[in-house]
Structure 1
Amino acid sequence: MAAPGKEAALILIDVQKAFVEMEAAGHRRNNPQAVANMARLLDAFRNQGLAVFHIRHASTEPGSLLRPERSGFEAIGETRERPGEAVLVKHVNSAFIGTDLEQQLRDGRHETVILAGITTNHCVETTTRMAGNLGFDARLVDDACYTFDRVGRSGEVESAEAIHAMTLSNLDGEFATIETTETVLAALRHSAAA
Structure 2
Amino acid sequence: MIPDLDCAVLLPIDIQRGFDDPRWPRRWNPDFEANALALLGGWRAIGRPIIHVRHDSVEPGSSLAPGQPGNDFRAGFEPFAEEPVLSKSVNSAFIGTDLDLRLRRLGADTVVAFGISTDMCVSTTVRTGANLGWKMVLVADACDCFDLPNGGGGIIPGRAIHDAHVATLAYEFCDVVTTAQLLPLASAA
The CA RMSD over aligned residues, in Å, is 1.3
> Is 1:105 equivalent to 2:103 in the alignment?
yes
Give structure 1 regions of 4+ aligned residues with deviation exceeding 2 angstroms. Answer: none
What is the rounded CA distance, in whole Å, between the counterparts of 1:185 and 1:103 in structure 2? Answer: 26
Alpha-carbon deviation of 1:89?
0.5
Taking the TM superposition and a 5 Å limit, the aligned residue runs for 1:78-93 are 78-93=76-91
Q: Deviations over 1:39-97 (max 9, x none)?
A: 11111111111100100101111121011121110001111100010101001011011
Q: Could you say which residue in structure 1 is the equivalent of 2:178?
A: 180
Q: Describe the shift of the 1:26–1:13 C-alpha distance in structure 2 as closer, same or farther (beyond 3 A).
A: closer
SS at match of 2:51: strand
Q: Could you say which residue in structure 2 is the equivalent of 1:42?
A: 40
TM superposition score normalised by structure 1: 0.92
Give the letter aligned to residue 87 of structure 1.
V
Q: Could you say which residue in structure 1 is the equivalent of 2:94?
A: 96
Aligned length: 188
Alpha-carbon deviation of 1:154?
2.1
Q: Deviations over 1:111-164 (max 9, x none)?
A: 111100101111011001011111111010110011110101222100000000
Give the letter aligned to residue 186 of structure 2.
L
Q: Deviations over 1:3-28 (max 9, x none)?
A: 411x1110000000011224xx6832
Q: Describe the shift of the 1:26–1:9 C-alpha distance in structure 2 as closer, same or farther (beyond 3 A).
A: closer
TM superposition score normalised by structure 2: 0.95
Identity of aligned residues (%): 39
SS at match of 1:173: helix
SS at match of 1:51: coil
Q: Could you say which residue in structure 2 is the equivalent of 1:189?
A: 187
Taking the TM superposition and a 5 Å limit, the aligned residue runs for 1:1-194 are 1-5=2-6, 7-22=7-22, 27-191=25-189
Where does the alignment leave 5 or more consecutive residues of structure 1 unmatched?
none
Conservation of the 8 A alpha-carbon contact between 2:28 and 2:158: yes
What is the rounded CA distance, in whole Å, between the counterparts of 2:166 and 2:3 in structure 1? Answer: 20
Conservation of the 8 A alpha-carbon contact between 1:65 and 1:73: yes
Q: Describe the shift of the 1:2–1:171 C-alpha distance in structure 2 as closer, same or farther (beyond 3 A).
A: closer
Conservation of the 8 A alpha-carbon contact between 1:3 and 1:190: no
Give the letter aligned to residue 149 of structure 2.
V
